[in-house]
Chain A
Amino acid sequence: MGIDFQHIIELGPDILKAFGQTMYMIGVSLTIAIIIGLPLGIVLFVTDRGLFMENRFIKSTLGFVVNMVRSIPFIILLVALIPLTKLIVDSTIGPAAASVSLSVAAIPFFARIVETSLREIDKGVIEAAVAVGATPWMIIKDVLLPEAKPSIVQGVTMTIISLVAYSAMAGVVGGGGIGDLAIRFGYYRYDNAIMIVTVVILIVLVQIIQQLGDWTSKAIDKR
């Protein structure tokens, strides 16, 4: 099977545009996931048993909501959130619309990752901060976040890679992006060249993200 390079070059602008849309979706949803998911993850952790802001009610309520969202397959979430998407971005197609569902899926995902990262911190370090008379806010800002930072960076990497995969599904609701391109050209039109190009792009993208994530995590770790 020969690859028709002429054909790929012709579709260059489409590929570029799709790549841009994927980046847009990932960028928006990652930002929202961090803004909401990070505090959510912290709350999930500090309200846990034996910790300095132990609160059973908050812990179990938030835990339930997070699990609920996470248990819905993304493809269903994508469709189920159409009314919400319409409310927020006043449209149900395009990258902006797809970003709503992506964010909703990414928030609990990232929150759990943050919670897990915080759990890795030696409880003794937190206890030492309590013993020193630190305020809860100080413990969060100066103990929890710095200590978990290398691990949270790894979590961000994982979230981005998951978002790359999820964003490919956004094509289903006309979200645009590389996945959409692959479905429209590669699948519906049997355009193998496009299919291969999109897959290669996704592979390269994920590799780069992972490498960057690993490198950053290592660079900031003082242990």
Chain B
Amino acid sequence: MITIKDLTKEYKTKKGTVTGVDHVNLTVNEGEVFGIVGYSGAGKSSLLRCMNLLELPTSGKIEVDGLDLTKLKGEALRKARLKIGMIFQHFYLISQKTVAENIAFALRAANTPKEKMESRVLELLDMVGLSEKKDVFPAQLSGGQKQRVGIARALANNPSVLLCDEATSALDPKTTLSILRLLKKINRELNITIVLITHEMNVVKEICDRMAIMQAGRVIEEGPVYEIFSSPKAELTKEFISSVVSFDVPSAILEQVSGCIVKVMFKGSLAGEGVISDTVQQFDVRGNFLHGSIEYIQEIPLGLFLMEIQGHPDNIARALTYMEGRGAQVEVIRNGH
């Protein structure tokens, strides 16, 4: 759906040239939700804004739905943008126009016939759950409601792609979740490809199929969200993931325990299958949970446990091998003493 080839975006400042996006190659498949994660200044926003040419790349190519955007100008570019919806962190609604007028504005950009306008506006409002707010001005809406209007506006002309620029970063956790659910619904029911940028791993965990991590203008890691969560490679990726799956055990506790400390990870359905209790029963070892959690990423469980295992070293070794045999990833943090 979106193919980015060797994209570079440089900014000229008084202090010289700053590279915002540095030779990025990326493919977003049709129908998926793709997340781009990074700290502010990593270039994720620049990259996203290149995808509808709000920012003109310095070099490289961006194809959206088979159309090379970098070759387009004026009217042709405007027409292409009708098919690329975008929502923003700060919503950017026209404050002096009602909710319905804001959506109608987008429809007029596509020359929607007058007689179809009203019904389409109502249809869109119904989809985002704001039917009763039709004639209200944005100032009277909550953040979540404003974002819903933004979404309705972005979807007005049946786009094939929806770009989300930190769409939930200005919202509280509960509202964030409701907006993410709405985005997921749009992705599923309308088959709209979604690209979102965020610095919150929770957002990615909630709705993304695949993700990329950016640092200093480059994509440093890319892949299916579950894979990245279960086996992150880059340091930065691990750091981001630790914001969701944190494994800090107070050192005082670590000093108290004397056994072997292992980190055990279960992927997929295994997380629910009593591997640990089987192990403990079979190998004459004692297990003691120090920390543990099961995260559901795209509704697939990812179990992570920090355990102390006590017993004869041979038994422990066999127990660990057994767990690995059952598909768990085992990492010894500290041997017993």
A and B assemble together:
yes
Chain B, interface size category, equals 20 to 34
Interchain CB contact (< 8 A) of A138 among B82, B105, B156: B105
Q: With A124-B90, A127-B54 known to touch, is A132 a contact of B96 (CB < 8 Å)?
A: no
Q: With A133-B157, A143-B94 known to touch, is A128 a contact of B88 (CB < 8 Å)?
A: yes
Closest 10 CB pairs of A and B: A128-B92, A133-B82, A133-B81, A146-B96, A124-B92, A222-B137, A131-B86, A134-B109, A133-B109, A132-B106
Task: List, in ascending order, chain B residues with CB within 8 A of A142's CB.
Answer: 94, 97, 105, 108
Q: Which of A94-130 contact B (CB under 8 A)?
A: 122, 124-125, 127-130
Closest to A125 in B: B92
A133 shortest CB reach to chain B, Å: 4
Q: Is B95 an interface residue (CB 8 A)?
A: yes
Q: Is B291 an interface residue (CB 8 A)?
A: no
Task: List, in ascending order, chain A residues with CB within 8 A of B73's CB.
Answer: none
Instruction: Name A's B-contacting residues (CB within 8 A).
Output: 122, 124-125, 127-135, 138, 142-143, 146-147, 149-150, 220-223
Q: Is B78 an interface residue (CB 8 A)?
A: yes
Bound CA–CA A122/B93 (angstroms): 10
**Cβ–Cβ contact B97 & A130, under 8 A:** no
Q: Is B67 an interface residue (CB 8 A)?
A: no
A144 shortest CB reach to chain B, Å: 10
Closest to A149 in B: B96
A122 shortest CB reach to chain B, Å: 7
B146 shortest CB reach to chain A, Å: 12
Bound CA–CA A37/B164 (angstroms): 38
Residue from the set A128, A134, A138 with the largest chain B CB neighbour count within 10 Å: A128
Closest to B79 in A: A133
Q: With A128-B86, A222-B137 known to touch, is A147 a contact of B95 (CB < 8 Å)?
A: yes
A197 shortest CB reach to chain B, Å: 42
* Interface CB pairs A-B, < 8 A, 23: A122-B90, A124-B90, A125-B94, A125-B95, A128-B150, A128-B153, A129-B105, A130-B54, A131-B54, A132-B85, A132-B153, A132-B154, A132-B156, A132-B157, A133-B78, A135-B109, A147-B94, A147-B96, A150-B96, A220-B96, A221-B96, A222-B137, A223-B95
Q: Is B110 an interface residue (CB 8 A)?
A: yes
Task: List, in ascending order, chain A residues with CB within 8 A of B92's CB.
Answer: 122, 124-125, 127-128
Bound CA–CA A175/B193 (angstroms): 68
Bound CA–CA A223/B141 (angstroms): 11
Q: Is B139 an interface residue (CB 8 A)?
A: yes
Extra contacts, 10 of them, besides A125-B95, A128-B92 (Cβ < 8 A), are A128-B88, A129-B94, A131-B84, A132-B106, A134-B105, A135-B78, A143-B94, A143-B105, A147-B96, A221-B96
Q: Is B8 an interface residue (CB 8 A)?
A: no
Task: List, in ascending order, chain A residues with CB within 8 A of B106's CB.
Answer: 132-134
Q: Is B52 an interface residue (CB 8 A)?
A: yes
Bound CA–CA A150/B139 (angstroms): 15
**Cβ–Cβ contact A146 & B93, under 8 A:** no
Bound CA–CA A130/B74 (angstroms): 11
Task: List, in ascending order, chain B residues with CB within 8 A of A150's CB.
Answer: 96
Q: Which of B126-167 contact A (CB under 8 A)?
A: 137-139, 150, 153-154, 156-157
Q: With A132-B105, A132-B154, A138-B109 known to touch, is A222 a contact of B79 (CB < 8 Å)?
A: no
Closest to A126 in B: B92
B159 shortest CB reach to chain A, Å: 9
Bound CA–CA A127/B150 (angstroms): 13
**Cβ–Cβ contact A132 & B90, under 8 A:** no
Bound CA–CA A113/B187 (angstroms): 45
Bits for B296-326, please: 1 = Cβ < 8 Å to A, else 0.
0000000000000000000000000000000
Residue from the set B52, B95, B150 with the largest chain A CB neighbour count within 10 Å: B95
Bound CA–CA A34/B35 (angstroms): 48
Bound CA–CA A137/B22 (angstroms): 35
A222 shortest CB reach to chain B, Å: 4
Task: List, in ascending order, chain B residues with CB within 8 A of A146's CB.
Answer: 94, 96-97
